Amino acid sequence: MRVVFLLLVSLFVFSSCEDDQNSGKNTNLLMGNWYLMKFQYSIQPDNEFNENDILWKIEEEDIVVSVNAALYLYEVKVPLARGGIFPYAIDVNSKKITFEDYTYDYEFISEDELYLKEVGYVDGRRITLKRVEE
């Protein structure tokens, strides 16, 4: 009887624990069109971009990236530098976003500027995005 009771209690405890990473994508503030303004990495020179170079459209489930065909950015390790659709995960409680196996802290510099800083590195990847009106 005691074993059955413990099993029921364990079942109740584990079933009531939900992944609170906020994977329900409460991303209202992040959703929309953003262009890549600046990418910084380690001691490499800053990479600055024009508004029509790289556009990130953050949607409910994915980041859709459009890239000006004239750009070739693989050698500077710019995240999402190629066009395509990329899934992401977000935790709005701790203000972290993960895509392409990297996790970034995010903060709004202003209403229309977003700053991402790679977690765990002092001189890791740093990305500045600017909101584009649709």
Closest CA to 31 of 61, 6, 49, 58: 58
CB 127 within 8 A of CB 79: yes
pLDDT tens-place string over residues 78-134: 778 778 899 999 998 999 999 988 999 999 999 999 999 999 988 899 999 999 987
- What is the CA 42 to chain-centroid distance, rounded? 19
CB 108 within 8 A of CB 129: no
Rg (CA), the chain: 19
Checking if the pLDDT of 34 tops 50, the result is yes
Which residues lie below 8 Å from residue 50, measured CB to CB, with a gap of 6+?
Answer: none
Hey, where are the domains in the chain? Answer: 23-132
pLDDT at position 6: 41
pLDDT at position 24: 44
Q: For the whole model, what pTM was predicted?
A: 0.74
User: What is the arithmetic mean of pLDDT over 35-44?
Assistant: 90
DSSP secondary structure letters along 29-95: TT-EEEEEEEEE-TTSPPEE--TTTEEEEE-SSEEEEEE-TT---GGGT-TT-SSEEEE-EEETTTT
Written as six digits, the tokens of 121 are 């590195």
Fold for 23-132, please state it: Lipocalin (2.40.128)
